[in-house]
């Protein structure tokens, strides 16, 4: 093998390694949701993401609801407002936590109530890492995290378009 062929081979391996690192699996931990009252048709799911390379969470789907959307909640003049997000950036190596009162996954048109002790499938769609299915554990109503029990009351909330 000539020197040039060897250099090209090594360069190809380096490029392939870089491409493989960019499409490595995103780590998903602590996927959970709160139980919902019997007649509720909406719910929310939460989780923590960490990607080895810059990526974006571009969407979510689940058989548990007609639609799942990425949302964020922010205080505006003493009122908590919720807005949809097109995507969530995942900077390389940083943990991004979706949690109550912040970024979360909104479940719209629940097909059945979310019951404590049960779980449901959630498919995450990433710009670079592709799709990833996770199991979401349903915690009791009012829970603030996996196994965390109940939390404190949330401030008043306005849905998009309300004031």
Going by C-alpha positions, the residue among 27, 38, 33 that lies closest to residue 68 is 33
Q: Confidence band (pLDDT; 50, 70, 90) for 20?
A: very low
pLDDT (0 to 100) of residue 157? 38
Eight-class DSSP state of 53? S
**Three-class DSSP category at 10:** helix
Q: Distance (Å, rounded) from C-alpha 60 to C-alpha 124?
A: 5
Domain at 25-142: CATH code = 2.60.40.1890
pLDDT (0 to 100) of residue 3? 60
Going by C-alpha positions, the residue among 53, 57, 55, 89 that lies closest to residue 45 is 57
Q: Look at residue 11 and tell me whether its pLDDT is greater than 80.
A: no
Q: Look at residue 22 and tell me whether its pLDDT is greater than 90.
A: no
Which of left, alpha, beta for 142 (phi over 0: left; psi -120 to 50: alpha)?
left
pLDDT more than 70, % of the chain: 75
Q: Distance (Å, rounded) from C-alpha 151 to C-alpha 142?
A: 6
Tell me the per-residue pLDDT of 97-146, one tens digit each, with 9 for 90 and over: 999 999 999 999 999 999 999 999 999 999 999 999 999 999 998 888 77
**Burial class of residue 140, CB neighbours in 10 A (0-12, 13-18, 19+):** middle
Cα distance from N-terminal residue to C-terminal residue, the chain? 72
Domain ranges in the chain?
Answer: 25-142
Q: Confidence band (pLDDT; 50, 70, 90) for 150?
A: very low
Q: Look at residue 154 and tell me whether its pLDDT is greater than 80.
A: no
Tell me the per-residue pLDDT of 37-79, one tens digit each, with 9 for 90 and over: 988 999 999 999 999 999 999 999 999 999 999 999 988 898 9
pLDDT (0 to 100) of residue 146? 72
């Amino acid at each position: 093998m000539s020197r040039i062929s060897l250099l090209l081979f090594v360069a190809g391996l380096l490029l392939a390694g870089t491409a493989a690192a960019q499409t490595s699996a995103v780590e998903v931990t602590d996927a959970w949701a709160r139980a919902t009252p019997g007649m509720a048709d909406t719910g929310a799911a939460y989780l923590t993401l960490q990607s080895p390379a810059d990526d974006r969470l571009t969407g979510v789907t689940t058989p548990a609801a007609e639609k799942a959307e990425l949302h964020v909640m922010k205080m505006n003049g003493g009122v908590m407002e919720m807005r949809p997000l097109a995507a969530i950036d995942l900077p390389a190596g940083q943990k991004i936590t979706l949690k109550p009162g912040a970024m979360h996954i909104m479940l719209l048109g629940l097909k059945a109530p979310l019951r404590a002790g049960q779980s449901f499938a959630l498919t995450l769609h990433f710009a670079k890492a592709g799709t990833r299915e996770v199991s979401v554990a349903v915690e009791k109503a009012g829970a603030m995290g996996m196994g965390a029990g109940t939390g404190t009351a949330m401030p008043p909330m306005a849905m998009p378009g309300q004031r």
